[in-house]
Amino acid sequence: MQRREFFQHLLKRAGIGAGALTAATAGFIGYYQPRKEFFDTSGKNNAELPEKLTTPKKAVVIGGGLAGISSALELARRNFEVTLVEASPSLGGKLTGWPIDALGERFPVEHGFHGFFDQYYNLNEMFVSADIGSEMFTASPGYPVIFSDKQVEVFGQTPKWFPFNIISVVEQSKRLDIASFLKEFPGLWPVISMFRYQYDRTFRDWDSIDFMTYCRRGDVLPAFVDTVLHPFSDATMNRMEVLSAAEAMRYFHFYFMGSPEGLSFKITTRDCMTALIDPLERKLKAMGVRVLKGQKARSLAMQGGKVTAVRLAGVGAGGGVVVASIPKSDVPESGWKQHMADGGIPVVVARRNSAWVAFDGRCTHMGCPVGPEAGTDGLFCPCHAGRFDADGVPVGGPPKAPLARLNVREEGEMLVVEQASAGATPVVVADEELPCDYCVLVSDVRGARELIAGSQPGNGDFAGRVAALGEADPYVVWRVWLDRPVPSAAYPFYTVSGYTYTDSITFYSSFQQPFISWAKRTGGCVAELHAYAVAPQDVRPEPEIRAAMLQELHAMFPETKNATIRHEIFMMQSNFTRWAPGDHAKRPGVETPYANLYLAGDWVNTNAPVFLMEAAAFTGRQAANAIAAKESLRQTPLPIVPMDGIFA
């Protein structure tokens, strides 16, 4: 089939008369293009409503990530008296960072690399509101994908207009030649149908299967899956094999097929704390927001279908709930056994003489999993250099509170690990209880589950929806300081395809201070490898994963074979949202059965086409709009990519 016939067929399938190819093509450039829209649920008289309260009311926002900051800013702007509660010592959520001492210097590190796409309309508006200038960003030169055969495809340098964005991807691709594309184009109809994204229909038809099944059922061109769909869908932090097909369609609609901005994105010239979170915190405080860091919300006080207060607490243990069952033979004679319990909770168990000892393996600093510390009988959190002795007491790094001790009892050849009985570990409750007129819960999935379960809200359906929220497979971030440069790394960031672990690699010394200066002084290089979602069968001890990722680095960039790692930080965590088939219908929405309780975060059910960081910022503003509506205040129309695909 020739290209003209292909376009005619494409236009016909789109509902455009195939007899007028030239006019229809011009129509594409005009009418059939994605355009920025606004999500507006207000009434016709919205502009006439007051913007601010005349008498302030109290609002408590639980969670200091992007959703919490977004919601707090919007509520403070409307004259609410806002208190923002964050369990960790710093705001930012996934964007948070912390300093480390290495190689005689101090460096900032964070949870991993982030790109800020042009269609992050709400997030970018938030940055502008905090006077975060363009000097904190630099444009990425492209979106390269490096494959296991060492070929590199560079996306993000294509036209933004449909269908030329798709055609240009194929034409410039070394792996997708245009002749095969035109010959096998029926295998691309499932991809073309993704341009028909429409929230209700898409989730009705496709949320029940995973994205890999969708591609196989639709007989999508295998080369297109391997080159485009697989590496890009992995960036959801959910493996293609367990990612809802409907969520994948929303993802591709937001990032590419329905975005007027294409794949253009920026990267920060400093670490995210310095560049973004610190200015946002200054903005919050300037607007009168009370920021409580290192304070954990223990439960919600509820009465008469409303939240009356938020109770704060320290670290404590619960009562008698079985966490894990572990074969005795799995626990070494000396040292710790790491175990990922149901629900993604890490547990560490050891044999102490004739007894057993177990702890909740989440570091009391930020919830990162701890593991054995080499050369000691203690435990170590690599995320923030937290150290605990054999009794779970912190002896170094940021953690201040001990690990929560768990009970262990023997049942035959099994060890049953459970939360300690009430009273076994004292619960430390803060002096403060925060009364509120409104409450916005914006913590991550794990935090939301724990808070609602601890609050015993009474509404079984709502509690069940929150309890059913899941976390994706664990991910790995491994940052290395090498003693020499990597000349073949032409881009600061690569998505990676075809390897067991590595899904992306970032060369910080090519775009971000102080790593640029360090590399110039020492002749070295600072790189970071990510495994976005490690499949259960690939979860192995840290040394094995690290060795495998090192071999993958050597395969991608052979000159690293001769490099020496001068310093490294390895983190394996499990705290990203799961978007599995069937999850969507069970997700709670922004509004809840309680008159003054609202939810926000990327895990909240919203019909808007948003994802990841933009979903957090958007739903934070959406929750603030819902509260504004309750108070008869003006709502803010929220910018979005088009609600529907261009063929919807």
Query: How far apart are the C-alpha atoms of 98 and 89, rounded to whole Å?
Result: 10
Model confidence at 400: pLDDT above 90: no
Confidence of residue 158 (pLDDT cuts 50, 70, 90): low
Q: Are residues 340 and 400 in the same domain?
A: yes
Tell me whether the omega of the peptide bond preceding residue 514 falls within 30 degrees of 0, making it cis: yes
What's the confidence (pLDDT) of residue 101? 84
Integer CA distances (angstroms), 558 to 489, 526, 553, 554, 562, in order: 11, 16, 8, 5, 8
Model confidence at 181: pLDDT above 60: no
Q: Is pTM beyond 0.85 here?
A: no
> Judging by DSSP bridges, how do beta strands 371-372 and 414-419 pair with one another?
unpaired
Structural domain boundaries, residue 228:
141-257
Among residues 230, 257, 284, which one ends one of the domains? Answer: 257
Q: Would you say residue 519 lies in a domain?
A: yes
Q: Would you say residue 529 lies in a domain?
A: yes
What's the confidence (pLDDT) of residue 11? 45
Lowest mean pLDDT among 269-283, 409-423, 463-477: 409-423
DSSP conformation letters of 360-417: E-B-TTT-PBPEEPTTSSSEEETTTTEEE-TTS-EEESS--SPPPEEEEEEETTEEEE
Q: Are residues 149 and 239 in the same domain?
A: yes
Among residues 573, 597, 612, which one ends one of the domains? Answer: 573
Q: Would you say residue 308 lies in a domain?
A: no
Residue 152 near residue 556 (C-beta atoms within 8 A): no
Q: Would you say residue 115 lies in a domain?
A: no
Q: What is the dihedral of CA 179, 183, 186, 191, to 10 degrees?
A: -10
Q: Are residues 327 and 384 in the same domain?
A: yes
Please give the tally of structural domains in the chain: 3
Q: Would you say residue 6 lies in a domain?
A: no
Q: Looking at residue 503, which CATH number applies to its domain? A: 3.90.660.20
Higher-scoring residue by pLDDT: 556, 157? 556
Q: Are residues 165 and 252 in the same domain?
A: yes
Q: Are residues 147 and 252 in the same domain?
A: yes
Q: Would you say residue 342 lies in a domain?
A: yes
Among residues 257, 288, 304, which one ends one of the domains? Answer: 257
Q: Residues 40-83: pLDDT tens digits?
A: 999 889 999 999 999 999 999 999 999 999 999 999 999 999 99
